[in-house]
Amino acid sequence: MDKKLNSTSSYLQDVTSRLADIEARPLPSNLGELIDAAAAEGGDRIVWNFFEAGETETYEGMRQRVNHLAQRLEGIGIGKGSHVAVMLPNIPAFPLTWFALAKIGAVMIPVNTGYRERELGYVLGDSEAAFIVLHRDHEAAFEGARAHHGVAIPDAAVIGLGGAGYGHDLEEMISGKAERFIPKDAPTSQDLMNIQYTSGTTGFPKGCMLTHEYWMVAGISNAFRDGQSYDRLLASTPFYYMDPQWLLLMTLLHRGTLFVARKQSASRFVGWLREYDINFCLFPWIAYKQPPRADDRLNSVVRANIYGVPKNLHALIEERFGIRAREAFGMTELGPAIFMPLEGDEMVGSGFCGIPGPFRRCRVVNGAGEDVPAGEPGELLVSGRGIMQGYYRNPGATQAALIDGWFHTGDLFVKDENGFYRIIGRQKDMVRRSGENIAARELETVLNAFPGIDEAAIVPVPDEMRGEEVKACIVLSEGKSGATRLLDRIIAHCERELAAFKVPRFYEFRDALPRTGSSKVAKRKLQDESGDPRAGCFDRVTGKWV
């Protein structure tokens, strides 16, 4: 143990010095400044490669297309502070639109392309989106949101792509180039750049207000905290999530190339690493479940971020794929918060996710807000430059989460004697399925609206492939005997109202839900009262009772 401590303390001194150097760097005041600086140096280098579609762009070409799109968007009335929803798949139009809006000083609301009309209607209404950029694949959901959920965006404010028959054609707008774009009112570091929706424990998603400074901090923190040069990066999750956005900024800072997949694939991921000579990626640990291949280790990965990996698999993943897979912790509200230094080989398989990154300070506190000793559990609090300004139109949630400059994560952590942090649980009522945070209350609201359901509770079920699966515990008005008659209709109701990843997989029917002394549903008892949480449930995937 002493040898391990000595080894750890020796490299932590170097890491601490490196983080201090990062914090001392001047930050670009806005994204437009970063784009122009990167293009001036990057020139004819490829900035992104959407490899499955065969679409690439150079730094200079990207800059000019962004300028032209910004001119066109400003010409139709989008200005500083305008709220613009963007519902696009992983295609170049997404980053081009984001960058153009940022140059104007407008605010992007990224929309999950899996949303049904109810979910879309909520996000568009809550964010007060005045414009929407829409792919043809999502016209039906948008029209349903306008017809049934009070969305008041007129055709003249819809920018369609791929045949969408609305007021403006995005495909035509992104095809031109312009040497210069001078915004009417240039954004500052404290102006909003995104309202990014994240699932919360109160049910519907909350809109995190993220500034230009937030994104500069996220990009620079991820780009330089290892002291390495990353010039071939991989983004395989959707652009409406946080990760591809900061990966693109990290790419610009390194003057590298971002290779973008259409969607995540555990079976093809390792092949992408090899084919495109990737040196930085976010590694989906479920790729380990794929059959081994002789060329698994043939890659150039310098660092792979890996989130929530089972401790017993961590070292096996590093050995099989020949990579340094390092844990990290972040949230939409915070951006990157904790990371495992590249040098931390001795921490592999420990379950620890690292130390506070650049611009971040962390504490572990008890219920009274007092710091707890090393090794004792408590809630993680985070502060620092560029965290979210608050939740949009939700002052109550903002005041509850941001107290005296510290963000209360709702996650339980312990800190060891060297300052490494390990997550041990969540205070939040969530299911985390394949990296998606699913708020139990939202699903319960949908289920409880179904005629014939008296009450429903959502709990997580451990799953080897996806981390957790969603289980619905249901009390029917007519008792458990009505389960067979109503089950298909309940599932169909969920599929209409919820994105596919939120639809419960397991359905358990009960006479009553257990209660706490204060009459709340005792969810811990629902999870702990049986050895196999699937026993007695209907499995929607297999179509059978377990």
| Residue 443, both tokens | 């699903």
pLDDT category at 427 given cuts 50, 70, 90 is: low
Question: Quick one: 257 exposed, middle or buried, by C-beta within 10 A (0-12, 13-18, 19+)?
Answer: buried
Contact present, 388 and 334 (Cβ < 8 Å): yes
The closest of 540, 541, 538 to 483, measured between CA atoms, is 538
The closest of 304, 310, 305, 296 to 465, measured between CA atoms, is 310
Sign, CA dihedral 320-277-336-21, equals positive
The closest of 39, 131, 55 to 90, measured between CA atoms, is 55
| 3-class secondary-structure state, position 317 | helix
Tell me which of 331 and 518 has the higher pLDDT: 331
Contact present, 90 and 135 (Cβ < 8 Å): no
Residue 269: predicted pLDDT = 98
Q: Which residues face 195 on adjacent strands? A: 209
| 3-class secondary-structure state, position 459 | strand
Length of the chain: 546
The closest of 29, 171, 193, 174 to 104, measured between CA atoms, is 193
Rounded Cα distance between 47 and 63, Å, is 10
Other C-beta atoms lying within 10 Å of the C-beta of residue 428: 16
Residue 520: predicted pLDDT = 77
Other C-beta atoms lying within 10 Å of the C-beta of residue 524: 11
468-513, pLDDT tens digit by residue? 999 999 999 999 988 999 999 999 999 999 999 999 999 999 999 9
State the average pLDDT over residues 452-462. Answer: 93
List strands edge to edge, sheet with 538-539.
453-463, 467-476, 506-510, 538-539, 544-545
Residue 257: predicted pLDDT = 99
**Does residue 73 carry a pLDDT above 50?**
yes
Rounded Cα distance between 343 and 8, Å, is 9
Rounded Cα distance between 381 and 411, Å, is 9
Instruction: Identify the H or E element spanning 47.
Output: strand 46-50
The closest of 464, 473, 370, 387 to 208, measured between CA atoms, is 387
Residue 59: predicted pLDDT = 98
- Those residues whose C-beta lies under 8 Å from the C-beta of residue 207, and which sit 6 or more positions away, are 109, 123, 126, 127, 195, 196, 197, 391, 392, 393, 394
* Cα angle 115-121-125, degrees, rounded to a multiple of 5: 130
Contact present, 544 and 538 (Cβ < 8 Å): yes
Rounded Cα distance between 317 and 282, Å, is 13
Contact present, 329 and 255 (Cβ < 8 Å): no
Q: Which of the 8 DSSP states describes residue 521?
A: B
133-177, pLDDT tens digit by residue? 999 999 999 999 999 999 999 999 999 998 777 989 999 999 999
435-447, pLDDT tens digit by residue? 788 888 889 989 9
Rounded Cα distance between 434 and 463, Å, is 10
**Does residue 260 carry a pLDDT above 90?**
yes
Residue 286: predicted pLDDT = 84
- Those residues whose C-beta lies under 8 Å from the C-beta of residue 388, and which sit 6 or more positions away, are 208, 209, 210, 214, 332, 333, 334, 407
Residue 7: predicted pLDDT = 66
pLDDT category at 519 given cuts 50, 70, 90 is: low
The closest of 128, 54, 63, 50 to 89, measured between CA atoms, is 50
**Does residue 201 carry a pLDDT above 70?**
no
Task: Give all strands (DSSP E) within 420-523, no chain letters.
Answer: 421-426, 430-433, 436-439, 453-463, 467-476, 506-510
Q: Which of the 8 DSSP states describes residue 544?
A: E
Torsion of CA 99, 205, 243, 273, to 10 degrees: -130
Residue 381: predicted pLDDT = 98
| Residue 533, both tokens | 């949480």
Which domains, from first to last, does the chain contain? 2-24+220-426 (3.40.50.12780), 60-187 (3.40.50.980), 430-545 (3.30.300.30)
Task: Give all strands (DSSP E) within 250-405, no chain letters.
Answer: 257-260, 280-282, 303-305, 325-326, 328-331, 335-339, 355-356, 360-365, 378-384, 402-403
Residue 1: predicted pLDDT = 42
